[in-house]
Amino acid sequence: MTKEELSNIILPRHIGIIMDGNGRWAKQRGLKRSEGHKEGAKVFRAICDYAAEIGIECLTFYAFSTENWKRPADEVEAIMNLFRDYLFEAQEREEENDAKGMRIRYIGDRNALPEDIVNLISQLEAHSAEKNHITVNLAVNYGGRDEILHSVKEIATKVAAGELNPEDITLKNIDENLYTAGQPDPDLIIRPSGEYRLSNFLIWQAAYSEFWFSDILWPDFTSDDLDKAIIDYSKRNRRFGGV
């Protein structure tokens, strides 16, 4: 997208992306599903860099859901190894990411993740915590319903401790205990691969999100496709229940 085009449209502050279609991409080429995930990881990196370049404030990528543990063990292992590769690479690219002002965050339940991955996540988050040009959330072992349950438990703990009265609970209390607390809700959610559902992704935050679907499989997704989604978004009239 050119600077002139950027100046003429309203950019979404926060974009959520469901990275779907890696397995089908590989199957179409007679490859193992893990090869599709490898290609999808390359696209993830490219879209992160491009979004930072054009001025997107937040990106949230759906990488691994709470339901994905049901997949074959070798595929789950391959995905976990890709996370490790990305984390090690992110450490090697610290100076580059710093220059882009990229803050990296992981959202989801870390309890089921391998200990070494959790440690790498913590290191990367701590290092990038003060960056403020773009926040990249990677949803790992994430589920929207699980996130809401997590928030409710945090609130219940405060009620049990006498720190909060039940009648004083507001929507803000739930927001403040979500994994995305402090970030704007997603303005735009993109799902490639021909599926037309959220699949338990940011279901609280997506109450007023705009959606953009396409038949493109994630490994084939490019910055041009992101441009199309953003331009389409900019033409929509968002009323938030008003007139």
Which residue, chain included where needed, has tokens 């997506």?
206
Q: Please, what is the end-to-end C-alpha distance for the chain in angstroms? A: 31
Confidence of residue 206 (pLDDT cuts 50, 70, 90): very high
pLDDT of the residue at 98:
79
| Residue pLDDT, tens place only, 133-170 | 999 999 999 999 999 999 999 999 999 999 999 999 99
| Catalytic position from the list 8, 49, 68, 132 | 68
CA-atom Rg of the chain in angstroms: 18
Q: Which residues is 107 bridged to in the sheet?
A: 139
Rounded Cα distance between 137 and 172, Å, is 21
Rounded Cα distance between 63 and 186, Å, is 16
206 DSSP 8-state letter:
G
Model-level pTM greater than 0.75? yes
Tokens encoding 52: 């930072």
Confidence of residue 28 (pLDDT cuts 50, 70, 90): very high
Q: Is 20 marked active-site?
A: yes
Domain residue spans in the chain? Answer: 3-143+184-234
**In which region does residue 241 sit, left (phi positive, over 0), alpha (psi from -120 to 50) or beta (all else)?**
left
Alpha-carbon torsion (177, 182, 184, 190), positive or negative: negative
| pLDDT of residue 219 exceeding 60 | yes
User: Which of these, 203, 179, 24, 21, lies nearest to 106 by C-alpha position?
Assistant: 179
> Chain centroid to CA 55: how far?
17
Cβ–Cβ contacts within 10 Å for residue 144, how many?
22
Q: Which helix (H) or strand (E) holds 138?
A: strand 134-142
* Assigned CATH class of 3-143+184-234: alpha beta
Q: Is 68 marked active-site?
A: yes
